């Protein structure tokens, strides 16, 4: 079966705002310093140790592993998978609030790992700035919503968007470009 795979990192963008996903996709080939806000730049730098597989030299950890699920049509990278304890960890520069997009991103990574033969017993978000770990358990309702989001991404039509979230728009790096 052929898929246009959805990048796992784009799930969070879509949940934040479909227009943000659109602009992010357009600008991702450009120099990020031209359009990214300070938090996005800091977040990218914080992931350098994962990208370079420098988090740990222990073979216990999978770092920056590319993962995919043919079943769900998703593809991306994980941050850390602890093979010994079977824990999947998504690192964020600073977690002030756990957003649904974070949870769906982590769940997508879990689905991919499991389809690839790895067992995931636990999931966690890790806030690097304050060294806090937040266990994540996904509910049945969240699972249902996740699969709905995947379907929505695959069939999304920008012309059908009627409402926007003014609070999200105020903090969006693309707010000057967006005119829904």
Percent of the chain with pLDDT over 70: 76
What is residue 18's predicted lDDT score, i.e. its pLDDT? 78
What dihedral angle (degrees, nearest 10) is formed by the CA atoms of 8, 9, 15, 16? 180
Which two tokens mark 110?
């879990």
Nearest to 124 by CA among 141, 138, 145, 142: 138
What is residue 2's predicted lDDT score, i.e. its pLDDT? 45
53-69: average pLDDT: 84
Average pLDDT, the chain: 82
Q: Which helix or strand (DSSP H or E) is residue 153 part of?
A: helix 140-154
Does the pTM surpass 0.75? The reply is yes
What is residue 170's predicted lDDT score, i.e. its pLDDT? 74
Domain spans, the chain: 6-170
- Distance between CA atoms of 72 and 76, rounded to whole angstroms? 12
59 has a pLDDT exceeding 60? yes
What is residue 89's predicted lDDT score, i.e. its pLDDT? 97
What is residue 31's predicted lDDT score, i.e. its pLDDT? 61
Which of 16-20, 40-44, 62-66, 161-165 has the highest mean predicted lDDT (pLDDT)?
62-66
* Topology (CATH) of 6-170: Lambda Exonuclease; Chain A (3.90.320)
């Amino acid at each position: 079966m052929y898929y246009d795979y959805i990048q796992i990192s784009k799930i969070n963008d879509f949940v934040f705002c479909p227009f943000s996903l659109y602009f992010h996709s357009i600008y991702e080939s450009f120099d990020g310093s031209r359009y990214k806000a300070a938090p996005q730049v800091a977040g990218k730098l914080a992931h350098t140790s994962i990208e370079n597989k420098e988090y740990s030299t222990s073979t216990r950890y999978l770092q920056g592993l590319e993962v995919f699920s043919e079943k769900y049509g998703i593809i991306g990278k994980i941050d850390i998978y602890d093979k010994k304890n079977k824990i999947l960890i998504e690192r964020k520069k600073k977690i002030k609030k756990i957003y649904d997009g974070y949870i769906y991103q982590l769940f997508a990574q879990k689905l991919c790992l499991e389809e690839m033969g790895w067992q995931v017993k636990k999931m966690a978000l890790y806030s690097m700035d304050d060294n806090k770990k937040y266990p994540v358990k996904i509910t049945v309702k969240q699972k249902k919503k996740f699969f709905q989001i995947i379907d929505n991404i695959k069939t999304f039509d920008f012309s059908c968007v009627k409402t926007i979230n003014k609070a999200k728009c105020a903090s969006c790096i693309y707010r000057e470009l967006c005119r829904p």
